[in-house]
Chain A
Amino acid sequence: MKAISKRIRAWSLVSLGAVVTMLVMSLAVPFFTAPVMADEATKAATEAAPKVEMAKDIYFKTEGPVSGNPAPELKATDYPSYNLPYPLSENRILIWSIAQQHLYFGSFVLAVPIFCMIIELVGLLTKDPVMSKKYDDLAHLLVKISLTAYSVTAILGGLLLFSFITLYPDFFKYISSLFRPVMHIYALLFLAESGTLYLYYYGWDRMTHGFAKWVHACMGVLLNVFGSVLMMLANSWASFMMSPAGVDEKGRYLGNIWAILHNALWNPLNVHRIIGNMVFGGGIVAAYAAYKFLAAKTLEEKAYYDWMGYIAMFMAVGSLIPLPFAGYWLMREVYGFRQQMGITLMGGLLAWLFIIQAVLIGALFFSTNYYLFNGMERMRGAEKYQKYIKYILFLTTAAFLVWLTPHTLVMRPAELKAIGGQQHPVIGNFGVMSAKNGAVNTMIMTTIISFLLYQRSNKIVVVKWEAWGNAALMAMFTVALVNNWWLAIYGYFIPANVRVGLSVPQVIGTLTTLFIGSAINIAMMRGSKLTGPIEWGKISVRSQYALFSLAVSFTWLMALMGYIRSSVRLFWHVMEVFRDNSPWAFTHTIGFAANMMSVNVMAFWLFVLFVFWLGELTSKHAVAEARKEAARPAMAGGSE
């Protein structure tokens, strides 16, 4: 056993090394290629020096040879459209729906392999062979589900491409003239990803032991590398439209593809989307498990899907916690790129959308906490912690109310007059960023507390330093919360440019409670006595609706944030470079946009139902065996 254990450890390290190396490599490749490409472009320019016109990059302010045509100046008649009834008469509505569905499925099929990679690795590192198989089967099931979704993603991608070509031909021509090589690389990567995915899936049952299993796990890593780079390339198109670079004021390409890719918002968008995809993927899998739980006929089945739902929720929420920080970075870069763009988002035309976002994020945190509170019910011994729920709920609700209070709003004159200005004299004080930072950090910390209590629910701590451990946890959360609230209040008395910096110590406090708090808690649980096993399957039906709520809220949130990101360009196809002169170059009302989002969300979930149903047709047998092991007792916290 020891020999096996050592070998497993060695392979774990190799695998982890491979994960890190390949992910870093994928990020680094463009850095190495960039100067080469730039040099080639400059060389080409130098060779043809007498004829080449030089122009200044609109963002990087560097000079480069003009290597492309200017962005076209279109007329309304340059947008061919179908004479469909309103609102389908607007080309952008068609594009909006198709792109949204493509992005939903794209996010799902990018997120699921990440989960599979992690779950397979956890399975490999788990010493208990029964649990190891249980994790392995779960990963296998997930990748099977994503296989059908992968085909749907590809079909929707093709549909989107044709829609662009037929409905926005000049726009597509211009964008493809800039991103020509990137588009080819994208297609090749797609091919590579597809091949790897099929090898990964169909090789599952053949590569089950020893070295072959590790090779299989590494294929999972490779799959994610391809997927992530693929997504980054697609992100560059969207971020270029928001914050163009690598072109001059007229939109002419200046010969450096890296400058176009590496525009101001590319990296923040990459990070935000990777994390967002993981939350989204977790949400979908959790919803799948919840539905299967509700439909289950036997306790065995219920136990299996309860466990699956918990794992998916855990991954979704684990990813949700850093998401606001990634969003904050993205928004900071938006302000850095164009201040008025940021204000249009946060304090201008689109500000109300952020209030809706606040409501949705609140729904996510409430759903998570509610699920955890319910989850305690399946553990004997959890009663002692239930008295804290009301305090956690109070703090979360108070933070939520501050979080959704608006600051500056677009209002009708009568409303302005009634309120007495753009800010309400009392609650307007909660609308500033200082209060929001305090509120979101509070919500995150209360969720962390819920999780720590959940971990402890069926255990009696036996370590000698229990009192010290508890004191340290109490002190840590108290200091972090007080620090968070104090900085939020202090932020009112200092200028905005200094205030921005306060978010750093606030975030550090929150992350400290997350990482150090979890570490202390786990250490305290070592050797703990179980008051009873986690009785998987014995959770309330209500809790499964909390998982549904998590999934639908995130789907809606994704639609909303995508709309915000896109509509902030207002009447520009490419911000400040390529004007949208279509008959639909105006911004719809929030209500219209919300209806569109709702229709997209419902259409997506109908698609998902179909995909799950397809997966169901072939997966019944595969799951059956795993279910038998599911009712087996396990420790809280997902460690085993």
Chain B
Amino acid sequence: MTQGLLSVGILMSPVVLFILAYNLPRFRGILLAVGFYMVMTGTFASYSNWLPQVESYPPPVIKMDVGAIDTMPTDKLAEMGETIIFGKVGGFAERGIGKGQCPLCHTFKKGDIGDRAPNLIGLGARAAERIKDPRYIKADFVQTESFKGSGRATTAEEYIAESHSCPACFVVEGFGTKGTNDRDSPMPVIHKPPIGLSIEELIAVDTWLWFREGNTPPTPKEIRAAYEKFIPEADRSKPAAPGAQAAAPAGPPIVLVSDTPDQIVAKMGCFACHQIPGIALAKFGAIGPMLIEGHNAPRRIASAAYQARVKAGMAHAKTPKEYVMESIVNPNAFIVPQFAAKTNPEISPMIQDFATKFTYGGLEKMADYLLQQNCDTAKRDKLPGPPQEPFAEVCGGAAKAVSAP
């Protein structure tokens, strides 16, 4: 909205210049010229702001581990594959584009013409035929093995795996890189940058490719074996251990000053523990206090417990805003007694590394937002508060509780 206003502002500001030009004949020429430039620039900017506005973020990392993949029901695995290809479950129907970027070149529906890469409908049956193709058997491509000693595909699934990990090992006629006489492929190696899918993600993708046409996909173990045949050990991304953090975050989850409070809450996962008025996502958290800091922060600072922490040199806030900011970046400074862990009361159960995830501007923005929340906003949103510190206890009276999902 603001950015749209800026462009309209640029477009409208020449009016002032034209009025000045009318009244200041000595500077008329320069004012009219500058005004004209601003009209042109403002027109281009306004037109650009009128077009659909889309922000694009780096692809999210999908956490998967070996055990989960192998035991996951086929339909769930296929859904994951659809998400990787089309961006979300249901993305196939909407022709979305996901982390795998496949729909940029491939088509998937009957009748769709694939200009740049083959239509993938009927892939399972066709894959089995491809490996019998004389062009496949007597390969004359820039690459004939995925890596030295990998061998060639002997099954349909192996053919699919080989196509992903060594696109130049077989090029469908008419789809080669221009000027190579179909000896080289324009397709990127899918397990390497820029797409860089892990074997686990590729298993999900292949499962969807089989599953969506009603075929029974090979098991995850079989698909894994196919990929391991064509992707050397050194090139495989290591699967995350169960419960571990993703090894390489796709995009750093940093809170910027440009983020809205909703975005900050979503990025940092605050909703998992806290209820926050005005944030649609944060209605059910019951691990931490309800964040109505306009009401809570002054009370907390004045409390004997907090002052004791100040005396001990552990807490330092003097104003509500300082208190909120301190609570985010240094959650151990003061733990609201009802929420302290019984086993380790000195360490807050809250995430400890927000200090490295918030920019100063982002932190200030979030603090300001939380300080605007009070009993009235909580009541408006009918937040019940967590059991340790319910709404009635904090604000008196009771907000009509929403039912937990």
Question: Residues of A at under 8 Å CB distance from B?
Answer: 73, 75-77, 81, 83, 85-87, 89-90, 249, 291, 294-295, 335-336, 338-340, 343-344, 347-349, 352, 355-356, 359-360, 363, 409-413, 415-416, 421-422, 495-497, 500, 545, 548-549, 552-553, 556, 570-572, 575-577, 579, 581-595, 597-598, 601-602, 605, 609
Contact = CB atoms under 8 A, between A and B. Distances in A.
A339 B186 contact: yes
B33 interface: yes
B252 interface: yes
B52 A411 contact: yes
Nearest to B143: A61
A598 B45 contact: yes
B45 A597 contact: yes
A495 B256 contact: no
Of residues A336, A340, A349, A581, which shows the largest number of chain B Cβ atoms within 10 Å of its Cβ? A340
Nearest to A580: B58
Contact of A598 (B36, B42, B250, B359): B42
Contacts of B359: 81, 83, 89, 583
A416 B94 contact: yes
Of residues A363, A545, A583, A588, which shows the largest number of chain B Cβ atoms within 10 Å of its Cβ? A583
Given A85-B257, A595-B49, A553 B40 contact: yes
Contacts of B122: none
A89 B117 CA distance: 41
B37 interface: yes
A586 B7 contact: no
Nearest to B365: A86
A576 B44 CA distance: 33
Contacts of A86: 256-258, 361
B53 interface: yes
Interface residues of B, number: 60
B97 interface: yes
Given A294-B29, A549-B40, A590 B51 contact: yes
Given A87-B258, A583-B256, A589 B3 contact: yes
Nearest to B42: A598
Given A410-B54, A583-B252, A594-B7, A85 B361 contact: yes
B215 interface: no
B187 interface: yes
A343 B116 contact: yes
Contacts of B116: 339, 343, 496
Interface in B231-267: 248-252, 254, 256-258
B101 interface: yes
A584 B58 CA distance: 10
Interface in B25-48: 29-30, 32-34, 36-38, 40-42, 44-45, 47-48
Interface of B: 3-4, 6-7, 10, 29-30, 32-34, 36-38, 40-42, 44-45, 47-49, 51-58, 94-95, 97, 101, 104-105, 115-117, 174, 177-178, 186-188, 192-194, 248-252, 254, 256-258, 356, 359-361
A333 B188 CA distance: 15
A497 B174 contact: yes
* Interface SS of B by simple majority: loop
Nearest to A541: B32
Of residues A77, A81, A356, A592, which shows the largest number of chain B Cβ atoms within 10 Å of its Cβ? A592
B52 A588 contact: no
B47 A356 contact: yes
Nearest to A360: B44
B103 to A, nearest CB: 10
A89 B186 contact: no
A602 B49 contact: no
A552 B3 contact: no
B58 A495 contact: no
Given A86-B361, A591-B53, A76 B36 contact: no
A143 B360 CA distance: 48
A352 B52 contact: yes
Contacts of B30: 291, 295, 609
B323 to A, nearest CB: 21
A591 B7 CA distance: 8
Given A339-B104, A497-B115, A594-B48, 20 more contacts: A90-B256, A249-B192, A339-B105, A339-B187, A344-B104, A352-B51, A552-B37, A556-B41, A575-B194, A576-B193, A576-B194, A579-B193, A582-B252, A585-B252, A586-B55, A587-B57, A590-B53, A595-B7, A595-B10, A601-B37
Of residues B105, B248, B257, which shows the largest number of chain A Cβ atoms within 10 Å of its Cβ? B257
Given A295-B29, A592-B3, A343 B44 contact: no
A174 to B, nearest CB: 16
Contacts of A605: 34, 37
27 contacts: A76-B356, A81-B359, A89-B257, A89-B258, A90-B256, A249-B192, A291-B30, A291-B33, A295-B29, A339-B105, A339-B187, A343-B116, A352-B52, A495-B115, A496-B115, A497-B115, A552-B36, A570-B56, A570-B194, A571-B251, A572-B193, A589-B53, A590-B48, A590-B52, A595-B7, A598-B10, A605-B37
